[in-house]
Amino acid sequence: MSERPELALRAKELDAADELAPLRGRFVLDDVVYLDGNSLGALPVNVADQVADVIRRQWGEQRIRSWEENGWWTAPERIGDRIAPLVGAAPGQIVVGDSTSVNVFKALVAAVRMAGDGRDELLVDATTFPTDGYIAESAARLTGRTLRPVTPADVPAALSERTAAVLLNHVDYRSGRLHDLPGLTAAVHARGALAVWDLCHSAGALPVGLDEHGVDLAVGCTYKYLNGGPGSPAYLYVRRDLQDRFDSPLPGWTSHAEPFAMSPAYAAAPGAVRGRVGTPDILSMLALEAALEAWDGVSVEAVRAKSLALTDFFLECVGAYTEPGRVECVTPAAHAERGSQIALRCPDAGEVMKRLIERGVVGDFRHPDVLRFGFTPLYVGFADTERAARVLGELLSR
């Protein structure tokens, strides 16, 4: 379909009024419309130089002295405190390191141990990202619990005095549905169980409120909306009043109260440090620390407002540029139920996404028939949004 001048004009006006628009300059971008930041965030401009300094000076010249002189040893907690405001947590409750999967395992097993022997059931989001389900099944076997998959909407009815812990995704990775973290956490607590949340598709895109809503444990990756780079380390949140009861199933030497004493007996360090395991992955960790500078002076609430405006505008443009019935939106229309992505069902979605990428609009495809578009408000604008919908319409009209 041809360009709709009124939509292009509105996009221009919205970009001109956007208080976050200057943040685009903090990222390495080109003419491509990049709507895959919910898989891998764009590179912040300052990261390359800072990583080069870590390699050439800190590692190359100062070598082992950098563990102390450049703060390598304390990086997991220091960077955790940089992430904390983005997920609504006070300092001292987040430690960075390992992958999301490893942190899910730590959190689930620790939650079951805190729940006690009388609770023999573990609930897991039936719509979860596959790895979370795999880890939950293994954690259940390891701890002798029964695993029961349930949809988030069915969690309140499924809870009982048998429930030890519940693992839930804040945002569904396929559809972009935002689940009710405050309400579900309260329901879990009302039955005496612990709530573990996966924040991979919400942290950096919308307010989370971990402390405000009393979340027990949470995990998340840093390479999506936090732009930490491919394979950047994940993080683990342990609510402050639970930290002295957090019994990690992976008690590594760096979480020891006296790590350099090399004692044969394990004694857990106080605080969130006990979520650490082995030697920190310094290169990727310090790349993440540099990437988080892109958030300096940025309000998560402003990011959320722009995210909703972008996704609303995208849906309007898709409606204008595509034939009725050609695509179906599977992302909820209600703002309270929408993350920062739009998922469109399309019979030939795989081929359509290939052609979109060839035309300079990058989203991704999820089997069997979903086109997924992630909107990162720090660098995606309204003109990008209009262009993406217009190109989609042109491809679907052929």
pLDDT tens digits, one per residue of 54-109: 999 999 999 999 999 999 999 999 999 999 999 999 999 999 999 999 999 999 99
| Active-site residue, selected from the candidate residues 27, 173, 223, 379 | 223
Annotated catalytic, 306? no
Place of tokens 């359509």: 352
Cα–Cα distances in Å, from 7 out to 4, 286, 316, 383?
5, 41, 9, 9
Catalytic residue status for 129: yes
Closest-CA residue to 229 (of 281, 297, 187, 191): 281
pLDDT of 398 reads 77
Is 274 assigned a catalytic role?
no
Beta-carbon contacts of residue 282 (< 8 Å; ≥ 6 apart): 54, 59, 72, 75
Write phi, then psi, for 200 (nearest 5 degrees): -55, -35
For residue 193, the model assigns a pLDDT of 98
* Active site (annotated) includes residue 326: no
How many whole angstroms from its chain centre is CA 32?
23
Catalytic pick among 276, 338, 372, 387: 372
* The predicted structure's pLDDT at residue 2: 65
For residue 71, what pLDDT is reported?
A: 98
> How high is the pLDDT of residue 6?
97
SS3 call for 301: helix
Max CA pair span of the chain: 72
d(CA 123, CA 158): 8
105 is catalytic: no
Please tell me the predicted confidence (pLDDT) of residue 3: 73
Question: Which regions of the chain are under pLDDT 70?
Answer: 1-2
